[in-house]
Amino acid sequence: GENVEQHPSTLSVQEGDSAVIKCTYSDSASNYFPWYKQELGKRPQLIIDIRSNVGEKKDQRIAVTLNKTAKHFSLHITETQPEDSAVYFCAASIRRAGGTSYGKLTFGQGTILTVHP
Amino acid sequence: NAGVMQNPRHLVRRRGQEARLRCSPMKGHSHVYWYRQLPEEGLKFMVYLQKENIIDESGMPKERFSAEFPKEGPSILRIQQVVRGDSAAYFCASSLGQGRMNEQFFGPGTRLTVL
């Protein structure tokens, strides 16, 4: 089955700096890669996602890049703010029309991001 | 439009009791997924259901765990004869299942504590 590795496990930055979190996946059939932000005791919330037919996607201070050949994707947060502090999870999914694996997300281990004021 | 609802938010059970966790998907969503999150770990897939059907239960332990999503009412994750290792946060997510690829919206979770 799919395996997703995420690094680093913790990341500490100063306010205004950039933060980069990297993930690798094992199954070349994976074609959907969402990123979730989870604050302490709260639900995971989708912040950005990318599909395998796209190499990069941006949404204000957040961007995600995907390298299908190398099977890795990264989250980039620019101009970090203290409210960006949370646990970030990457995930991968395989969509096969009519297949039993449709929809299942395989998550990375998470990155605890701390932004110091 | 209410988001994904889960109840109870917190559940305490003694070893050997049963735990029932409920999930109401977003309006119009017919796909439900259950994930388990152990303390300081990532989310692990358990089971994927559509109305009245289990599509993929590859992540669910074969014994003591069961799930259903009836035609009417919420999806239920049932854990029989709970053990301390079942203590975790259980999240459900729902998706539309068509159009936008696989975007899953998570509920607030049920935090199960087994004494």
pLDDT in tens, B61-75: 999 999 999 999 999
Cβ contact B56–A106 (<8 Å): no
User: pLDDT at position A94, please?
Assistant: 79
CA distance A110 to A39: 12
Cβ contact B55–A103 (<8 Å): yes
Residues of chain A contacting B, Cβ within 8 Å: 1, 6, 31-32, 34, 36, 42-46, 49, 51, 89, 93, 95, 100-110
Tell me how close the Cα of B92 comes to any Cα of chain A, in angstroms. 10
Looking at every residue in chain A, the average pLDDT score rounds to 91
User: pLDDT at position A85, please?
Assistant: 97
The answer to whether residue A32 scores a pLDDT higher than 70 is: yes
- Interior CA angle at A103 toward B86 and B5, to 5°? 55
Q: Does B41 touch chain A (CB under 8 A)?
A: yes
CA distance B96 to B87: 30
Chain B residues with CB under 8 Å of A42 CB are 108
Q: Which two tokens stand for residue A38?
A: 């989870």
Chain B residues with CB under 8 Å of A106 CB are 45
- SS (HEC) of A20-79: EEEEEECCCCCCEEEEEEECCCCCCEEEEEEECCCCEEEECCEEEEEECCCCEEEEEECC
The count of other CB atoms within 10 Å of the CB of residue B3 is 15
Which of A45, A93, A109 minimises the CB distance to B42? A109
